[in-house]
Amino acid sequence: MILGGIDEAGRGSVMGPLVIAGISLDSEGIKYLQKEGVIDSKKMNPSKRELLYPKIISCARSVYICRIDPKTIDLYVNQKKLNILESKFMTIVSDNLDADKIIIDACDINLVRFKQSIVQNLINTSVKIYCFHKADSDNIAVSAASIIAKVTRDREIVRIERKLNKHIGSGYPSDPVTKIFLRNNIENAMIKEYVRFSWNPVKCILDELTQTRIL
């Protein structure tokens, strides 16, 4: 049996893409990654993830990655449909994996609803889909997918920094570097394609700037 796993990185960030990655593994690939110490990407540092990334790619039966830009994310968030956006792209990833069974780390609190939103739109109806919470901690294929998604997103952030020639931090609202960058550059047209304006932290910064002008 070929086992697939799907996970995302960047759902909660205010800058950069949301990355959804999938991987499929045969039994030998699973054993190899277990031996190499593959676990949930959130439980390891960036250098460890980068070290494991090529090893994961080398033993995968298939890999598929989607990058969702901030403008698309804003469109769905403003309609309160972020989970629908994720299920849409997880369906695309599922259809492009060589797998008999795919385990997905679900973002929706309602697992049945989330699974149905994927299954009903699948082209490859022979694949079995399973959705769980915290699957990236419990399943080696999902853990591997989480590393692929995280490394891909980290590299996208580096690409953005090089393009802007500025440090933007991790892109998450809790990051002081990201906060300072947004406060100093939010009105710069060059950064608009990288910012999620539907996120409350960004709205707050814009509101503060408006209030400052009024005063």
Could you tell me if 60 and 112 lie in one domain? yes
Could you tell me if 31 and 100 lie in one domain? yes
The range of the structural domain enclosing residue 181 comes to: 162-206
The answer to whether residue 213 sits within a structural domain is: no
pLDDT of residue 213: 67
Report the amino acid identity of residue 45.
N
pLDDT of residue 210: 79
Tens of pLDDT, residues 115-162: 999 999 999 999 999 999 999 888 999 999 999 999 999 999 999 999
- Total of domains in the chain: 2
Ranges of residues in the chain with a pLDDT under 50 are none
Residue among 27, 20, 28 nearest 152 (CA) = 20
Could you tell me if 67 and 136 lie in one domain? yes
- Which of 121, 138, 157 is at the close of a domain? 157
Could you tell me if 149 and 60 lie in one domain? yes
3: Cβ contacts below 8 Å, ≥ 6 apart? 24, 25, 26, 30, 99, 100, 101, 102, 103, 141
CATH code of the domain containing 187: 1.10.10
The answer to whether residue 211 sits within a structural domain is: no
Determine the distance from the C-alpha atom of residue 199 to the mean position of all C-alpha atoms in its chain, rounded to a whole number: 16
Could you tell me if 84 and 125 lie in one domain? yes
Could you tell me if 55 and 121 lie in one domain? yes
Residue among 36, 69, 64, 82 nearest 148 (CA) = 64
pLDDT of residue 214: 61
The answer to whether residue 50 sits within a structural domain is: yes
pTM for this model (two decimals)? 0.95
Give the neighbor-by-neighbor strand order of the sheet with 3-9.
62-68, 18-25, 3-9, 101-105, 128-132
Could you tell me if 167 and 148 lie in one domain? no
Q: How far is CA 112 from CA 126, 131, 132, in A?
A: 19, 8, 10
Q: How far is CA 151 from CA 20, 42, 155, 162, 213, in A?
A: 11, 11, 6, 17, 40
The answer to whether residue 212 sits within a structural domain is: no
Could you tell me if 111 and 180 lie in one domain? no
Could you tell me if 17 and 108 lie in one domain? yes
Could you tell me if 99 and 185 lie in one domain? no
Could you tell me if 194 and 136 lie in one domain? no
CATH code of the domain containing 66: 3.30.420.10
Determine the distance from the C-alpha atom of residue 170 to the mean position of all C-alpha atoms in its chain, rounded to a whole number: 13
Q: Residue 179 gets which letter from DSSP?
A: H
The answer to whether residue 215 sits within a structural domain is: no
Half-sphere exposure of 60 (CA within 13 A, CB side): 26
The answer to whether residue 151 sits within a structural domain is: yes
Could you tell me if 105 and 198 lie in one domain? no
